[in-house]
Amino acid sequence: MESTILKIEEKKISDFLGQKIFLNQPNISAEDAEKFKKFGFDLHFLPEIELSESHKFVDWREGPKRNFYQLINQGKLSKNSLSLSGKWVLIDGRAKPVRCYPWLAKDDVLVVLSEKILGINWLKKCRGFSKQQYENDFLLEILKKNGFNSRFSLTWQQIDEIIKLEVAKILSIDSSKIRLPKFVEWNFLGSLFYPEWGQTSTWEWFSDRLKTGECLAGGAGSLSALGWDPPDLWSNILGFRFLVEI
């Protein structure tokens, strides 16, 4: 990593946190960083922070809101979800594609009734939407092999159990190094570098899971928007991105 890029990252995070930080070189070669860049992954540093509602960073205008902290305080979500790692990561930096109409999900009344009465296979229809995809997405071949035309309408389970493993092969990394980002990681990086992540009405999955099994999802119209759904839910406005630990 070039020293100029390192200094830019250092200044950006220092200004954001209101305190000077110094970064070490990431454990990645320039060649590997360029390889990941071609797949859409950007290199960033996550400072070692454990959030609380009392944290007041001037520029963190769309930081986690009260419903996130309530999940922690009520014991529904692990305290690990509050923490940034103090490590370098690679993350897919592209903005979410726009919403594809109509808005449908597995448990919608329209979907359930029309499937039972009319025999419509809404999952197949939603999987076939081709507008919700990145241009030249390296994942498209993997997705098509599994019956999808975009990153939408996949369940959390399918991403974790199928897609992640195939992507790890393409990137030549151990599958334990690749995952969905935690909500606070996504929110922090979005606040610093990618405000556009919160500027479309689509959602995306995060790796955090409630103790009752539901998985966090967010990002619709705001970096702070947050909800949670069962891991077997699919929706044509619910997508995903990957983070790689290095």
Q: How many CA atoms lie within 13 A of 83 on its CB side?
A: 7
Which uninterrupted H or E stretch holds 245?
A: strand 243-245
Q: Are 195 and 228 in contact (CB under 8 A)?
A: no
pLDDT of residue 82: 94
Of 91, 106, 61, 57, which Cα lies nearest the Cα of 243? 91
SS3 of the chain: helix, strand, coil, percent, to 5: 35, 20, 45
Chain centroid to CA 234: 15
pLDDT of residue 148: 87
Strands (E), 61-210: 83-92, 178-179, 203-209
Q: What is the SS3 assignment for 68?
A: helix
Q: pTM of the predicted model, to two decimals? A: 0.90
pLDDT of residue 99: 74
pLDDT of residue 84: 94
Supply 110's token pair.
Answer: 């329209």
Q: In the chain, what are the domain boundaries?
A: 3-92, 109-172+198-240
Q: Cα–Cα distance between 170 and 167 in angstroms, integer?
A: 5
pLDDT of residue 10: 93
Q: What is the dihedral of CA 228, 144, 99, 77, to 10 degrees?
A: 10
For the chain of 246 residues, list the mean pLDDT of each consecutive stretch of 10. Answer: 78 88 89 92 93 74 90 96 94 85 74 74 70 77 87 94 94 96 96 92 96 97 95 92 95
Q: Cα–Cα distance between 110 and 126 in angstroms, integer?
A: 14
